[in-house]
Every structure is written in structure tokens, then in C-alpha cells.
Amino acid sequence: MKTRAAVAWEAGKPLSIEQVDLEGPRAGEVLVRIVATGVCHTDAFTLSGADPEGLFPVILGHEGGGIVEEVGPGVTSVKPGDHVIPLYTPECGKCKFCLSGKTNLCQAIRATQGKGLMPDGSSRFSLHGKPILHYMGCSTFSEHTVLPEIALAKIDPAAPLDKVCLLGCGITTGIGAVLNTAKVTPGSSVAVFGLGGIGMSVIQGAVMAKAARIIAIDTNPEKFVMAKQLGATDCVNPKDYKDTPIQQVIVELTDGGVDYSFECIGNVNVMRSALECCHKGWGESIIIGVAGAGQEISTRPFQLVTGRVWRGSAFGGVKGRSQLPGYVDRYLAGELKIDEFVSAELPLEQINHAFDLMHEGKVIRSVIRY
Ligand code: NAD
Ligand code: DAO
Ligand code: ZN
Ligand code: ZN
């Protein structure tokens, strides 16, 4: 079939809207019509060329919501008409990782997904006979896409796909990092570095965890309005403290440091600050941001010897097939905010504008509606 897609032909260039060829689903695969997709910083990161895994040409996008149109041989868990959220972290339920009970990082299709290919080692997308790669196993910047069955969470069809698509990455990542990775306890103090879709979702998660103090940090003070609406108790702009390292500012604000901090930017210098603003003896810092190719983190080892803990979190530690439908249900029950995160709604033809809005710091999330 032909489908409309935004193709990234090469790094650093705008996406190009094309009618691409899409082959139907093979065994264990599913054809999905994407109804809406968010635009996440990770898409911009890969497009920039800084992503160590970035490959081109590719159809980006990984924060989608859609409807199953066709299933390949052997597919049993979804059928045409089902509403689904694509998962860049699949859940096979059978691999060592899925069975460990310790991680959401299913490895069943990791090798091929990292190469931009379907599990059988080929791509379903092409144009004029030249293959175009899949992205994070999702490629939601295409009106139709093919995914492995294990990379689809079946959700309540009552949920609006142009909202719950954001559970495909940003909102789940932030909330999950608080509830699953850090396991923030009631009464805790929390520092959140970077107030995009991820950082704002960390604030939402910290409120759900009943944190007593939530310090929101960003170099763009326009982000503070929403941070406060979501429940931040303090807002700090590092630019207001040019002569004092930001970790020192936070330590002084909190009588020795926070119980938990979250880096939601992808900046290795801020990752260090986030660790070092944690309280001696027990403070834990969670890295969520994805740093550029070749970058490394550093701190004095004594920071860890004296009880601070450094951790990372991918997709909030959430197992997509078994746990994501519950997030959708919580949204439908009014327990979880999503609508507030949609700052702009755009057609696919304006997807490059969505990237501009993100770089200008004017949106939390743009949602592309097909
Ligand atoms: P975003 O661009 O919307 O937000 C980033 C925010 O950081 C902006 O508000 C910006 O003003 C702020 N910022 C930039 N430099 C700063 C600094 N030095 N100090 C304070 N604030 C600063 O990005 P996003 O979509 O929220 O994504 C955030 C990060 O999370 C990215 O690195 C993304 O790749 C990563 N990510 C990780 C996962 C995961 O599973 N680990 C999932 C999704 C996204
Ligand atoms: O299993 O080795 C692996 C990789 C899993 C991918 C997890 C990626 C999470 C961070 C990337 C940002 C997501 C948008
Ligand atoms: Zn994302
Ligand atoms: Zn698995």
C-alpha cells in the first residue's frame, strides 16, 4: 500500500512529506493506522545526528496512538479495530529480561530494532525500491506503520487517541521514573531538572507520590507557569545564580539536599548537578535525559561513597503491554493529566513547525493529527 509519511532523508535536514510504499504485515506483525502522534525531544535528538543509534533514511516518531487495520499470520492478541499504543520498549513476556521481574527492557527484538529493521531483518517501508528504516520499532510519523505484535499495548477504545498517544513516551516516562524507578515516598523532597514533557510528567508523578517539596528547575522561566499548576512548590532558574553552581543552590534551599532528583534534559553537566544536589547518605538521582553520542558523566566517587545513588530510567520502568493500559484507565478515571500537556495540534504537513516550536521552548508537546 501507499501511505503518507514524514521522511528524514538525512541528519540535520527538515522532514519531507512523501507517499511511501508500505508492505503489509508478515508473521507476528500488525498494520496500524496512526491517528495521532506526539513529537518528543528524542525524535529531534535523532534527527540532529547526535544519536549514537541514529540511522537514515528513517521514518521517526515513537509517541503514537492508532487503530489496528490488519494482522499477519500467527497474531492472536490484537485484531482489526483494536485501539493500540506502539511500544518502543516491547514486552514479549518470555525473554530473560521480561521474566526477571527486575526490568522493562525486553530484549526479544532489540538487535533488529536498533538497526531500524523488523524482527526478520527487513524494512516494510520503501520509496522507489529503496528501503526506509523504522524508528524505535514504531515510526509513528507515518499514517500507517507495521509493528511487531509484542510492541503494541491494547487500550480502552473510549480513550481519545490524540491525547493518550502521549502515554507512548513522555508522560509514562516521567511518571514511571518517579513511581517505579525512584519509588518516591510520601513527604519527600524532589528536584526536577528540565521542564519539557518529561520533566512536567515527573512533577505529576511526584504529586501522585505525595512528595512534600517539588523544586522545578529550567533555564526557560516560561515553563514555571505550568510547573506550578502541576504542583511544583519552588521554581529555580539557574541563570539567576550565575556565580553559584545550581547544586549548591538546591542544597542550600533544602537543608542539605533533596531526597530524589531527576535529570530530564540530556545534558551531562546537569546530570552531575542533579546527583550532587542529593542529600548525603540517601539522596537518589535518576537520569532520564539521553545524552549525545560519545558523552560521559562524571562526579567525584566520594559522592557515591557518602550514600548518593545514581540510576537511570527507560520508559519509566513501565512494562508496556501489561501496565500501559492501566495508565490509560487512570487517565479515563481523571487520575492522570494528559490534556494539559498538548500545547499545539498540527497536521502532518506542519511537522517541521512542531520541531521548531520544541526548539523554541514554546510547547510541552505538539501532537500531530493525521
Ligand atoms: P524538551 O526539549 O521538551 O525539554 C527539555 C527542557 O530542558 C526544556 O524546557 C529546556 O528549557 C530545559 N533545559 C535545557 N537546558 C537546560 C539547563 N542547562 N538547565 C535547566 N533546564 C534546561 O525535552 P523532553 O521531550 O521533555 O525530553 C527530555 C529528555 O528526556 C531528552 O533528552 C529526551 O531524549 C529524553 N527522554 C528519555 C526517555 C527515557 O525513557 N529515558 C524518554 C523520553 C525522552
Ligand atoms: O534495551 O538496550 C535496550 C534499549 C532500550 C531502549 C530504551 C530507550 C529509552 C531511552 C530513549 C528515549 C526514548 C524516547
Ligand atoms: Zn520520547
Ligand atoms: Zn521480553
How much is the average pLDDT of 233-258? 97
Percent of the chain's residues with pLDDT above 70: 100
| pLDDT value for 266 | 97
What is the number of the ligand closest to the CA of 239? 1
How much is the average pLDDT of 298-302? 98
ipTM over cut 0.95: yes
What is the number of the ligand closest to the CA of 44? 1
Same-domain check for residues 178 and 307: yes
Same-domain check for residues 210 and 110: no
Asked if residue 42 has its Cβ within 6 Å of ligand 2, the reply is yes
Q: Are 235 and 228 in contact (CB under 8 A)?
A: yes
| pLDDT value for 68 | 99
Total number of domains constituting the chain: 2
Instruction: With a cut of 90, say whether residue 251 has pLDDT above it.
Output: yes
Element (H, E) at 35: strand 29-38
Among protein residues, the one with the nearest Cα to ligand 1's atom 39 is 314
Position in ligand 2 atom list of the atom nearest CA 136: 6
Asked if residue 4 has its Cβ within 6 Å of ligand 2, the reply is no
Position in ligand 1 atom list of the atom nearest CA 313: 41
Asked if residue 172 has its Cβ within 6 Å of ligand 2, the reply is no
Among protein residues, the one with the nearest Cα to ligand 1's atom 10 is 194
CATH of the domain at 254: 3.40.50.720
**What's the CA gap between 3 and 69, in Å, rounded?**
13
pLDDT digits (tens, 9 = 90+) for 76-95: 999 999 999 999 999 999 99
Q: Are 157 and 325 in contact (CB under 8 A)?
A: no
Does the residue 114 lie in any domain?
yes
| pLDDT value for 52 | 80
Nearest to 304 by CA among 275, 326, 332, 327: 275
Q: Which amino acid is at 65?
A: G
pLDDT digits (tens, 9 = 90+) for 117-131: 999 999 999 999 999
Which residue matches cell numbers 520533566? 199
Same-domain check for residues 164 and 177: no
pLDDT digits (tens, 9 = 90+) for 53-63: 899 999 999 99
Which residue matches cell numbers 535518576? 286
Same-domain check for residues 16 and 160: yes
Position in ligand 1 atom list of the atom nearest CA 45: 34
| pLDDT value for 24 | 98
How much is the average pLDDT of 341-352? 98
Q: What angle do CA 91, 181, 364 make, to 5 degrees?
A: 85
Instruction: With a cut of 90, say whether residue 169 has pLDDT above it.
Output: yes
pLDDT digits (tens, 9 = 90+) for 100-149: 999 999 999 999 999 999 999 999 999 999 999 999 999 999 999 999 99
| pLDDT value for 239 | 97
Asked if residue 317 has its Cβ within 6 Å of ligand 1, the reply is no
Asked if residue 314 has its Cβ within 6 Å of ligand 2, the reply is yes
**What's the CA gap between 157 and 85, in Å, rounded?**
11
Q: 63-71 and 83-86: which strand pairing?
A: antiparallel
Ligand 1 centroid–CA 291 distance in Å is 10
Ligand 4 centroid–CA 318 distance in Å is 13
Same-domain check for residues 94 and 159: yes
Does the residue 329 lie in any domain?
no
Among protein residues, the one with the nearest Cα to ligand 2's atom 7 is 314
Same-domain check for residues 177 and 147: no
Among protein residues, the one with the nearest Cα to ligand 1's atom 31 is 289
Distances (CA, A) of 238 to 216, 221, 250: 11, 10, 10
| pLDDT value for 17 | 98
How much is the average pLDDT of 142-159? 98
Percent of the chain's residues with pLDDT above 90: 98
Q: What angle do CA 264, 14, 370 make, to 5 degrees?
A: 80
Q: Which domain holds residue 75?
A: 2-168+338-369
Same-domain check for residues 236 and 299: yes
Asked if residue 358 has its Cβ within 6 Å of ligand 1, the reply is yes
Residue 268's contacts (CB-CB under 8 Å, 6 or more residues apart) are: 291, 295, 296, 297, 298
pTM: 0.97
Instruction: With a cut of 90, say whether residue 247 has pLDDT above it.
Output: yes
Which residue matches cell numbers 505484535? 149
Asked if residue 324 has its Cβ within 6 Å of ligand 2, the reply is no
Same-domain check for residues 103 and 191: no
**What's the CA gap between 126 and 23, in Å, rounded?**
8
**What's the CA gap between 356 and 350, in Å, rounded?**
10
pLDDT digits (tens, 9 = 90+) for 20-53: 999 999 999 999 999 999 999 999 999 999 888 8
Position in ligand 1 atom list of the atom nearest CA 287: 41
**What's the CA gap between 44 and 358, in Å, rounded?**
9
Position in ligand 2 atom list of the atom nearest CA 169: 14
Asked if residue 288 has its Cβ within 6 Å of ligand 2, the reply is no
| pLDDT value for 153 | 98
What is the number of the ligand closest to the CA of 320? 4
Catalytic residues: 40-42, 62-63, 92, 95, 98, 106, 110, 169, 365
Same-domain check for residues 33 and 109: yes
Instruction: With a cut of 90, say whether residue 293 has pLDDT above it.
Output: no
Does the residue 82 lie in any domain?
yes
| pLDDT value for 59 | 98
User: Widest CA span of the chain, in angstroms?
Assistant: 63
Distances (CA, A) of 180 to 176, 236, 286: 5, 26, 11
Same-domain check for residues 158 and 193: no
